[in-house]
Chain A
Amino acid sequence: MFATNLKIAKVHLTSKIKQTVVALLGVMFGISMYVFMNSFMTGVNDVQTDLAFTSLAHIHIYNDGPADNTNLVKRVYKGKDVAINIRNAKVIQYTEGIKNTQEILDLVRKQPEVIGITPQVNINVFFRNGSNKVNGTLSGVDVDNENRLFNISTYMTNGTWNSLQYRHDGVILGLDLAQQLSLNINDNINVLTSDGVSRNFKVIGIYQTNVKGVDKSKAYVNISSARQLLSKNQDYVTDLQVNINNFEKTAPVVARLAPVIPYKVESWQTANQQLEAGSKLRDIIAMAVSLTILMVAGFGIYNIMNMTINEKIREIAILKAMGFSGRDVTEIFLVQAVVVGIIGGVIGMILGFVIADIVNHIPFKIGGLNNLPMAYHPKDYIMAFTFGLITTLVAGYLPARKASKIDPVDIIRG
C-alpha cells in the first residue's frame, strides 16, 4: 500500500516540476541561511574566546591578599556602643604568593578536566630605557606550560618563544611596550621592582596578541629570573593558571578545588562577567535569527503545500471515491513534504557551506584577524537539517491533514 502512495507522491512531485523547485528553494534557502548564520556566529564566538583566552586562563588561583583588617577592635567588641578610632593601621605579617606550590600543582593535575596548569610569578615593575619609564607587569613563566595554555608562541612577531627557556637574562616584550620604550630585539631594558631592585634584561623577542592592554604593559621572563628578582626561593609562585577541557564548565572544578586550596580559586566567568555576557548574548542572537529564518521557510513550505493541495483537490476526491482512506491521503502529501525537506535540506547544507566559505574569505583586518571568522561544526549542519526536516514535516502535515478531511461528494458533485 505504501508503495502505491509513494508512487502517487512521486508523480505529484515530478509532474509539476516548477512548483516542486519553488518548494525546494524555500527549504534550501532556510537551511543554508541557518547553517551560514550559525557558522558565522560560532566563528565569531570562537575568535572572541580565542582572543579572551590569550592572556586569561579558565581558572586562576592566587593569594587574595590580606583580609580587611582596618578595624580589628570590632572583632572583639561587637557592641554598637563602642567608639573606635584607629589610624594608620598596618599589617605586620602577610605572606605574599602561594606556598606549597608543588602540592597544589599535584592536586590540581589530578582533576580529570584539567588539561594544563602553569605557575607564574607576576611582578609590578617599571620598565625603563634611558629616560622612558613605563609601568607594567613582568611575568615570570614556566616557558613550556605557559605556551601550552596561551599559545604565546603563535603571537611572536620577532624572536622565538622557546629561547626564553635558556636565556635567563632574556625578556620578551609586547609590541606596544617595545615601541613605547623605543626598543628593538637585542636591546637592553632595565626593570625596577617596587622593592627597589633593578636589573637589566636583553630583549630576545617581541609578541603581539592584539589585546592592547596586554601588548602595552606585559613582558615575559623565565620564572627563575623573576624569583631571583624578588629574592624568593625556587618554590615561589604568585599565580597558578589552570585550563580545563571545556571552558564553559568551570563551576564544578572550582567548587571541588576551592575548599581544599587555601587560596582564592576564581573562574574566568567570575573575573570577567562582561565576556561571559557577550558570549551568551551572541548565542541568543544566533538562535533567534536562525529560528526566524526557519519559521519563514516553514511558512513558505506551508503555503506551497497548501497551494498544491488546493490544486489537487479533485484528485484527492477521486482517490477517496476509489477507496483511499484519509490516512493514505495524509501519507501521500506528507511523503512529498519529507522528500522536499530531505532534498532541500541536503542542498541547503551544501549551499550553506559554500556561502560560509565565501564569507570566510572576505578580508577583515582588525585586531589580528585577516578575514571574517567562520566555524565549520558538523553539529550546526545536523541541527539545521533536523530543524529543517521538522519544520517541513509540520508545514506539510497541516495541509495534508486538511486534505485527508476532504469530502469527495462535495468536490465531485461540484
Chain B
Amino acid sequence: METNIALKADHIIKYFYEPQKFQVLKDVSFEVKKGEFLSLTGKSGSGKSTLLYVLSTMDTNYEGELFINGEKLTGQSQNNLAAFRNEHIGFVFQFHYLLPEFSALDNVMLPAMKLNKKSKQEIEDKAYKNLKLLGLEDQALKLASKLSGGQQQRVAIARALINDPSIIMGDEPTGNLDSKNTQVVFDIFKELAHEQGQTIITVTHDDDFARNSDRIIDMSDGVIIRHH
C-alpha cells in the first residue's frame, strides 16, 4: 500500500433490500490521496451518499473492501470502527445532527473528550478556536437547539475538525449555508487539505463548490461515470 493513499475503495457493491432488492453501488473502486479535496457529485439516487456512508465505516453492510490509511476496515467489529472513526474521521451530516441539549461548545468538544488524548483545557481551547474559525465564538455557550440551521451546520463542521482527523467527510456540508458561509467553509476545507494534509471527501449538489475542489467523482446509477 502506497503511503500517500488516504483511502482506497476496492470493488464496493451494496444492495438495498427494502422495499425490494436493489443494487445501489455497482462495483465502485477508487483511491483518494492524502491532502486531496474530493467532491462526489451526481443526481439524487445515484448512490453517492450511500457510498459516503460506506466510506465513513458506519455502514458495514457491503461487499468489497475498504482501506483507510492502509488499514483494512472491512470486517472489523462495530466498536473498533467506532474508535477508528473517533480518531481518524470527521463527519458532517446533511442535517447537521447536533445533540440539542448540549451547548455548541460541548457538541464540538464531545469527540475529543471521547478520544481522551488531551486535557479538558486544551480541548476547550481548540473547540473555541474552531468555532471562531467558523464565526461562531459568540454562540459557543448557547444550546445547540437554539441555533439557526446554518449555525448548527457550522457547529457540526467545527465538531468534525476537533480531533484533527486524517479524513473529513461531509454529506452536503454547505447545504444550509448562504454563499458567504459556503465560501468560508470551502476555504477552510481547502486550507486543511493543502496545508495540513487532511483529506476531504464531500458529497455535494453545489456545482461551484465541486468545480473548485481538487477532483470530482461523478456518479450515476451506482457507478462512477466520470473522474475529473
Of the candidate stretches A86-94, A99-107, A317-325, the one touching chain B is: A317-325
Which residues on A sit within 8 Å (CB–CB) of B102?
11
B82 touches A324 (CB 8 A): yes
Q: Which of B109-141 contact A (CB under 8 A)?
A: 110-111, 113-116
Cβ 8 A contact of A323, one of B49, B59, B87, B99: B87
A4 at the interface (CB under 8 A from B): yes
Q: Which of B48-97 contact A (CB under 8 A)?
A: 49, 53, 56, 58-59, 78-79, 82-87, 91, 93, 97
- Say how far B125's CB is from chain A's closest CB, in angstroms: 17
* A326-345 vs B, Cβ < 8 Å mask (1 yes, 0 no): 11100000000000000000
B58 touches A11 (CB 8 A): no
What residue of chain A has the Cβ atom nearest to residue B120's Cβ? Answer: A3
B87 touches A314 (CB 8 A): no
B53 touches A413 (CB 8 A): yes
A409 touches B114 (CB 8 A): no
B111 touches A323 (CB 8 A): yes
A12 touches B101 (CB 8 A): yes
- Say how far A179's CB is from chain B's closest CB, in angstroms: 75
* A378-414 vs B, Cβ < 8 Å mask (1 yes, 0 no): 0000000000000000000000000000001100110
Which residues on A sit within 8 Å (CB–CB) of B100?
315
Taking A15-B101, A318-B99, A412-B97 as contacts, is the C-beta distance between A328 and B53 under 8 angstroms?
no
Which residues on A sit within 8 Å (CB–CB) of B158?
none
Which residues on A sit within 8 Å (CB–CB) of B110?
4, 8, 319, 322
B154 at the interface (CB under 8 A from A): no
Taking A4-B113, A327-B79 as contacts, is the C-beta distance between A322 and B93 under 8 angstroms?
no
- Say how far A198's CB is from chain B's closest CB, in angstroms: 92
B40 at the interface (CB under 8 A from A): no
Cβ 8 A contact of A322, one of B49, B79, B86, B106: B86
A320 touches B97 (CB 8 A): no
Which residues on A sit within 8 Å (CB–CB) of B115?
323
A83 at the interface (CB under 8 A from B): no
Which residues on B sit within 8 Å (CB–CB) of A8?
99, 110
Which residues on B sit within 8 Å (CB–CB) of A326?
78-79, 82
A260 at the interface (CB under 8 A from B): no
In terms of DSSP, what is the predominant structure of the interface of chain A? Answer: helix
What residue of chain A has the Cβ atom nearest to residue B96's Cβ? Answer: A318
* B193-204 vs A, Cβ < 8 Å mask (1 yes, 0 no): 000000000000
- Say how far B72's CB is from chain A's closest CB, in angstroms: 19
* A67-93 vs B, Cβ < 8 Å mask (1 yes, 0 no): 000000000000000000000000000
Which residues on A sit within 8 Å (CB–CB) of B53?
409, 412-413
Q: Which of A9-66 contact B (CB under 8 A)?
A: 11-12, 15
- Provide the bound-state CA to CA distance between A318 and B159, in Å: 12
B98 at the interface (CB under 8 A from A): yes
A1 at the interface (CB under 8 A from B): yes
Tally of contact residues, A, Cβ under 8 A: 26
Residue of A7, A15, A323 with most chain B CB atoms under a 10 A cut-off: A323
Which residues on B sit within 8 Å (CB–CB) of A408?
58
Taking A320-B82, A325-B83, A326-B78 as contacts, is the C-beta distance between A1 and B98 under 8 angstroms?
no
Which residues on B sit within 8 Å (CB–CB) of A325?
78-79, 82-83
Tally of contact residues, B, Cβ under 8 A: 29
Taking A409-B59, A413-B53 as contacts, is the C-beta distance between A323 and B86 under 8 angstroms?
yes
What residue of chain B has the Cβ atom nearest to residue A317's Cβ? Answer: B97
- Say how far A3's CB is from chain B's closest CB, in angstroms: 8
Which residues on B sit within 8 Å (CB–CB) of A315?
99-100
Cβ 8 A contact of B97, one of A4, A314, A324: A314
Which residues on A sit within 8 Å (CB–CB) of B83?
323, 325
- Say how far B15's CB is from chain A's closest CB, in angstroms: 14
- Say how far B177's CB is from chain A's closest CB, in angstroms: 20
- Provide the bound-state CA to CA distance between A3 and B112, in Å: 13
B58 touches A323 (CB 8 A): no
- Say how far B161's CB is from chain A's closest CB, in angstroms: 12
- Provide the bound-state CA to CA distance between A304 and B54, in Å: 34
What residue of chain B has the Cβ atom nearest to residue A1's Cβ? Answer: B116
Which residues on B sit within 8 Å (CB–CB) of A314?
97
- Provide the bound-state CA to CA distance between A158 and B44, in Å: 100
Which residues on A sit within 8 Å (CB–CB) of B78?
325-326
A321 touches B91 (CB 8 A): yes
Which residues on B sit within 8 Å (CB–CB) of A321?
56, 58, 85, 91, 93, 97
- Provide the bound-state CA to CA distance between A314 and B93, in Å: 12
- Provide the bound-state CA to CA distance between A34 and B218, in Å: 66
Cβ 8 A contact of A409, one of B58, B82, B84, B86: B58
- Provide the bound-state CA to CA distance between A210 and B58, in Å: 77
Which residues on B sit within 8 Å (CB–CB) of A328?
114
- Provide the bound-state CA to CA distance between A408 and B79, in Å: 12
Cβ 8 A contact of A4, one of B58, B93, B114: B114
What residue of chain B has the Cβ atom nearest to residue A14's Cβ? Answer: B101
Which residues on B sit within 8 Å (CB–CB) of A327?
79
- Say how far B62's CB is from chain A's closest CB, in angstroms: 11
What residue of chain A has the Cβ atom nearest to residue B90's Cβ? Answer: A322
- Say how far B64's CB is from chain A's closest CB, in angstroms: 17
- Say how far A405's CB is from chain B's closest CB, in angstroms: 9
- Say how far B42's CB is from chain A's closest CB, in angstroms: 16
Which residues on A sit within 8 Å (CB–CB) of B113?
1, 3-4, 7
What residue of chain B has the Cβ atom nearest to residue A329's Cβ? Answer: B82
10 A-B pairs within 8 Å (CB atoms) are namely A1-B116, A4-B116, A314-B97, A317-B97, A321-B93, A322-B85, A322-B159, A325-B78, A326-B78, A412-B58
Which 6 A-B residue pairs are closest in the complex by CB-CB distance? A323-B86, A15-B101, A4-B113, A325-B79, A323-B85, A409-B59
